[in-house]
Amino acid sequence: MSFPVWLTVKTCVACVVLHALISIPIALWSSRSRGLMSRAVSFIVTIPLVFPPIAMGFILLMLLGRRGPIGIPLEQYLGLRLVFSEAGVILAAFIAGVPLMVRPLQAAMERLEILHLEEAARVHGCPPLMTILAVTVPQTWNTIISGFLLCVARASGEVGITMMLGGNISGRTNTLSLEIFNSVTRGEFDVAVRLCAILAGAGLILYVLMEKNRTKEL
Amino acid sequence: MLDVTLKKRRGDIVLDVAFTCRRPSIMVLFGRSGSGKTTIVQMLAGLVEPDEGVIRCGRDVLYDSGRRISLPPEKRGAGIVFQERRLFSYISVRQNLLFGHRFGGRPLKEGAFDKVVALLGLERLLHRRPNTLSGGEGQRVAIGRALLACTSFLLMDEPLASLDQERKDDLLRHIDDIPGNFGIPVIYVTHSRRELNGLADDVLFLGRERVTPAAKTAPLYPGGDVPTGRVRSATY
C-alpha cells in the first residue's frame, strides 16, 4: 500500500514543478498574444478538459508508444521511454491538469487591471521580464495558487490517462487511485476503503487550502 | 526642456500636436473627452507608438520617427499618474513608493523619499496596503510613486477625475508645488477649467478645429492672467 501513496505524492510534486515551468508561461504568452498560434495553443490545452480521459490516454499511447510518431524519436535520440513508466504517470497527471492551470490563469492575466498595472510598472522603469516577475505573477498569485491546488487534486485522482500511459503495473506505475481499482477487482475491499480514506483526507486538506486562498485578500 | 512634435491617425481624424515644455513648469493639455489628450500622454510614455514625430527631453531623444528611434517606456525616465491609482496591491505603500527604484533601477536621490513623503503627507500611510486607502490617499501615493521614479518628466492623466471636490482642492495644492520642488516638467491632462486655472503655466488646447490659442484662452482668463501658450498646432 505504501508504494502507490509514495508514487502519487511524487507525481503531485512533479506536476507542481512542471506547471510552474510550462503552464504559467503558456498562460502568460497566450494571454498576451492574439495570433493564430496562440488560439491553436488555447485549443490544445483545453482538449484534456473536454475529451474523455481514457480516449485521451489512448491517443497519447499511440503517439508516445514504442511505435508511435513521437515515441520512436524520443527513444532513438534521447533514450526516453515514456509509456509504462513513472515518467508516463507524471506526464498523464500533468496533461490532465494543464487546462485547470492555464485557462483560469489566462483569464486572470488578461484582466484590464493587470494590463494597467503592467503599464504603470513599465513607465516607472521595469523591463518586460521584471514586469512579469514584479507585477504580473504576484498580482495573479491567488489564481496561481488555486491552479496548483486544483492540479494536485486532479493529479492525485487521475485514472483514465494514467492507466493508458502508465499501464497500471503493480509496484511500478500503480498510483493511489489505480490501486483502489486494483483492490476492488481483487476483492480486497478493506484495502480499497483505507486508500479511499487517504484520498479523502488529502482532498479535504486541498479544499481547506483552496478556501483559505480564495478568501485571502491580495 | 521637453520638446514634442507628434502625429497620430486615429480612425478618420489626425492628432497633430507640437509643444515645448520648459522646466520647471506645468503644461496643461486641455480638451473634451475624446480629443486625444490621453493618447498624447501614452505616446510620451512610450505606451502608444506615434505615426511620426520627435520627442526630446533635454539632450535625450526619446522618439524620432525619421531616425527610427523609439525608446521603450522603461528607458524614458518618466513618472506617470493615471486617472485610476494603479497601485500594486500586494506590497505596502512604502514599497509602492520605492517601486521605480527597487524594480526599475531608477536612481533615488538622498533625502528624496523623505521629501516626497513630507510633501504629500504620507507619513501615517507607509505601512498600509493600497486596498485600505481612500481615493485621495491612494492618489497621493500614486503621485509619490511617480515623483520618486521620475528622472525626466512627469505625466498626469486626469489624476483628480475620480475624487470629490475637497480631495481635489487638497491635491491641487500638492501638484502645484511639484515643479518648484523637484525641478521637472509636468504634463497635466484635464477637461476641468478649475484645474486648468489652478495649475497651468503653459496650456495646449485640443479641439476639433485648428486652434488659435489667444482666442481660446482669453475667455478663460477674464482677469488677463493668460498663461504663455506654446502651442504650435493642435489640429484634427
Write the pLDDT tens digit of every residue in A194-206.
Answer: 999 999 999 999 9
Peptide bond before B24: cis, by omega within 30 degrees of 0?
A: yes
Kindly list the residues from chain B whose CB atom is less than 8 angstroms away from the CB atom of residue A122: 46-47, 72-74
A79 sits in which H/E element: none
Contact (CB<8Å) B74/A127: yes
pLDDT of residue B208: 56
Residue of B nearest to A130 (CA): B103
Q: Is the pLDDT of residue B210 over 60?
A: no
Contact (CB<8Å) A121/B104: yes
Cβ-based neighbour number of residue B76 at 10 Å: 26
pLDDT of residue A217: 61
Kindly list the residues from chain B whose CB atom is less than 8 angstroms away from the CB atom of residue A120: 80, 82, 86
pLDDT of residue A79: 86
Round to whole Å and give the CA distance between B121 and B11: 43
Q: Tell me the HSE value of A129 on the side-chain side, using a 13 A CA sphere.
A: 0
Going by pLDDT thresholds of 50, 70 and 90, the confidence category of residue A162 is: very high
Kindly list the residues from chain B whose CB atom is less than 8 angstroms away from the CB atom of residue A127: 72, 74
**DSSP state at residue A1:** -
Kindly list the residues from chain A whose CB atom is less than 8 angstroms away from the CB atom of residue B103: 121, 124-126, 130, 134
Average pLDDT estimate for B159-187: 86
Going by pLDDT thresholds of 50, 70 and 90, the confidence category of residue A1 is: low
As a whole-number percent, the residues of chain A with pLDDT over 70 amount to: 99
pLDDT of residue B173: 84
Contact (CB<8Å) B72/A125: no
Q: Is the pLDDT of residue B213 over 60?
A: no
Comparing CB atoms, the residue among A122, A124, A130 nearest residue B106 is A124
Tell which phi-psi region holds residue B100, choosing left (phi > 0), alpha (psi between -120 and 50) or beta: alpha
Q: Does B8 touch chain A (CB under 8 A)?
A: no
Contact (CB<8Å) B74/A217: no
Q: Is this complex's ipTM strictly greater than 0.90?
A: no
Q: Does B132 touch chain A (CB under 8 A)?
A: no
Residues 147-176 on B with a CB inside 8 Å of A are 149, 155
Alpha helices for A158-188 (secondary structure H): 160-166, 176-186
- Residue B45's Cα: distance from chain center in Å? 9
Burial zone of A198 (CB within 10 Å; 0-12 exposed, 13-18 middle, 19+ buried): middle
Alpha helices for chain A (secondary structure H): 2-18, 24-32, 36-50, 53-64, 71-78, 86-110, 112-123, 128-131, 137-139, 141-157, 160-166, 176-186, 189-215
Residues near A37 by beta carbon (within 8 Å), at least 6 away in sequence: none
pLDDT of residue B205: 86
Round to whole Å and give the CA distance between B154 and B78: 6
Residues 29-58 on B with a CB inside 8 Å of A are 45-47
Residues near A127 by beta carbon (within 8 Å), at least 6 away in sequence: B72, B74
Residue that has been written with the C-alpha cell 518586460 in this structure: A128
More confident residue, A170 or B12: A170
Round to whole Å and give the CA distance between A10 and A28: 27
- Mean pLDDT score of chain B, rounded to an integer? 84
Domains of chain B: 2-235 (3.40.50.300)
Interface test with chain B among A111, A122, A123, by most B beta carbons within 10 Å: A123
Fold of A2-215: MetI-like fold (1.10.3720)
Kindly list the residues from chain B whose CB atom is less than 8 angstroms away from the CB atom of residue A118: none
Residues near A208 by beta carbon (within 8 Å), at least 6 away in sequence: none
**DSSP state at residue B18:** E
Round to whole Å and give the CA distance between A159 and B24: 68
Average pLDDT estimate for B115-125: 91
Round to whole Å and give the CA distance between B186 and A122: 19
Burial zone of A85 (CB within 10 Å; 0-12 exposed, 13-18 middle, 19+ buried): middle
pLDDT of residue A150: 95
- Mean pLDDT score of chain A, rounded to an integer? 93
Q: Does B84 touch chain A (CB under 8 A)?
A: yes
Whether the CB-CB separation of A11 and A93 falls below 8 Å is answered with: yes
Round to whole Å and give the CA distance between B67 and A189: 78
Q: Does B222 touch chain A (CB under 8 A)?
A: no
Q: Is the pLDDT of residue A106 over 80?
A: yes
Q: Does B186 touch chain A (CB under 8 A)?
A: no
Q: What are phi and psi of A90, to 5 degrees?
A: -65, -45
Average pLDDT estimate for A32-45: 90
Interface test with chain A among B89, B129, B131, B153, by most A beta carbons within 10 Å: B89
Distance from CA of A215 to the nearest CA of B (A): 15
Distance from CA of A141 to the nearest CA of B (A): 9
Total CB pairs under 8 A between chain A and B:
72
Whether the CB-CB separation of B140 and B121 falls below 8 Å is answered with: yes
Residue of A nearest to B74 (CA): A125
Round to whole Å and give the CA distance between B54 and B6: 6
CA-nearest of B59, B44, B62, B18 to B188 is B44
pLDDT of residue B180: 85
Q: Is the pLDDT of residue A134 over 50?
A: yes
Cell matching residue B45: 510614455
Round to whole Å and give the CA distance between B110 and B113: 8
As a whole-number percent, the residues of chain A with pLDDT over 90 amount to: 84
Comparing CB atoms, the residue among B45, B84, B103 nearest residue A123 is B45
Contact (CB<8Å) A123/B72: no
